[in-house]
Structure 1
């Protein structure tokens, strides 16, 4: 599950505030099977490789599948010179990631030591939902397109005395047979709702909770989308 709290108030619009703490730190000595297992667990197709605190590059699932090897040290890495600094403005980080077609981007310190990783798409989903100014929570579900039924999903939410106030569906960019459904729910506590989805075998890949929004949130989202030309 990709779930991490994010505060989008003005003081936190720098890279280190958006790090996903669930991303593992892969080493060159790790097996390729180990890396693939993490990719499957996190629904990611790229992960950073780090050696003694130094960022070496990203390993991709396609390379691991096409070029079987015993360890990551034997695998060619991507984006070796592409990263952002921890205090860099977040808009610049997203721009760098999008320009280089990255699903994740490594964040480093001023001495270029590895700090952590940002997952681009999941964070953009959160920004999109921040337009909804009412308090509540947001869930991102990943499913096969044939399994999508908003009626059924709404029924499961309503069985927990909550309602879906907005939803957004888009094709999962890394597997065209799947879709990514983002739903805004009018409840702050969604523990029971998540448990219900998991009981019915829905894959919850992200969750966010937010209080009543501010005008600044929408302004920042508008600026973000314009900046990225999305």
Structure 2
């Protein structure tokens, strides 16, 4: 799940001497509104189509536009989660990937990153999602998994975030391999766990959009 594994080779980098009209042609061809800018292997940042439209000079070189988000990148050995984090920080649909010599290798798109992250969290698997609230001191995934497994159900993946209803607590989101939650909820509540919400997943996620939608629900975005 390292960043370099998900580089999209269909997205070309722009060079400083490239014409802005060529950049727009590339964007239209690959259906994107943003491209990376690279100079002699060094990542300089990103250029959006609106920046080119604002310049309104088709024969002008890319060098006349100052790229944005020069820090929107990760090293090639970083986890795909780091790609998503950098994307969110810079509000960008693409993140550049560099090697440890700071040489540009390519970009990862958010569609590819989210799809990979969804796969790693078993979002596409049949089952259900259970959301718990608790103090961090009470958190023990091993104990919670033991309780859930006593109901012949397994935890496929887990995700921790802040509880929006109480800053002093965490929210634990669990993906389970069974759709039936009635007995699991009752057992967890008997052990003192507070259940915030639950979702039953669709059987057989059929498209990329479905998978991304399920990931966003899992992360409660």
Q: TM-score, normalised by structure 1?
A: 0.53
Q: Does 1:96 align with 2:86?
A: yes
* CA–CA distance in structure 1, aligned partners of residues 35 and 5 of structure 2: 19
Compute the displacement of 1:41 (Å).
1.5
Compute the displacement of 1:40 (Å).
1.1
Q: CA RMSD in A?
A: 2.9
Q: TM-score, normalised by structure 2?
A: 0.55
Q: Secondary structure at the match of 2:209?
A: strand
* CA–CA distance in structure 2, aligned partners of residues 223 and 91 of structure 1: 14
* CA–CA distance in structure 2, aligned partners of residues 89 and 224 of structure 1: 21
Offset from partner CA, 1:113-138 (integer Å, 9 cap, x none)? 1011000134324654763348xxxx
Offset from partner CA, 1:150-172 (integer Å, 9 cap, x none)? xxxxxxxxxxxxxxx6557xxxx
- Tell whether the 8 Å contact from 2:87 to 2:110 is kept in structure 1 after alignment: yes
Match of 1:61 in 2: 49
Q: Which has the higher contact order (CA 8 A, sep 6+)?
A: 1
Match of 1:76 in 2: 66
- Tell whether the 8 Å contact from 1:15 to 1:88 is kept in structure 2 after alignment: yes
Q: Specify every segment of 5 or more residues in structure 1 that has no aligned partner in the other structure, as ranges.
A: 1-12, 135-164, 169-180, 185-220
Aligned length, in residue pairs: 138
* CA–CA distance in structure 1, aligned partners of residues 102 and 88 of structure 2: 21
Offset from partner CA, 1:51-86 (integer Å, 9 cap, x none)? 111111111111001112311011121011221100
Q: 1:91 to 1:223 in 2, by over 3 A?
A: farther
Q: Does 1:113 align with 2:103?
A: yes
Q: Secondary structure at the match of 1:76?
A: coil
Larger CA deviation: 38-47 vs 116-125: 116-125
Q: Secondary structure at the match of 2:23?
A: helix
Which of these two proteins has the greater Rg computed from alpha carbons? 2
Q: Secondary structure at the match of 1:182?
A: helix
Q: Specify every segment of 5 or more residues in structure 2 that has no aligned partner in the other structure, as ranges.
A: 127-203
Compute the displacement of 1:25 (Å).
2.1
- Tell whether the 8 Å contact from 1:15 to 1:86 is kept in structure 2 after alignment: yes
* CA–CA distance in structure 1, aligned partners of residues 116 and 65 of structure 2: 33
Match of 1:214 in 2: none
* CA–CA distance in structure 2, aligned partners of residues 88 and 19 of structure 1: 12
Matches within 5 A, 1:194-213: none
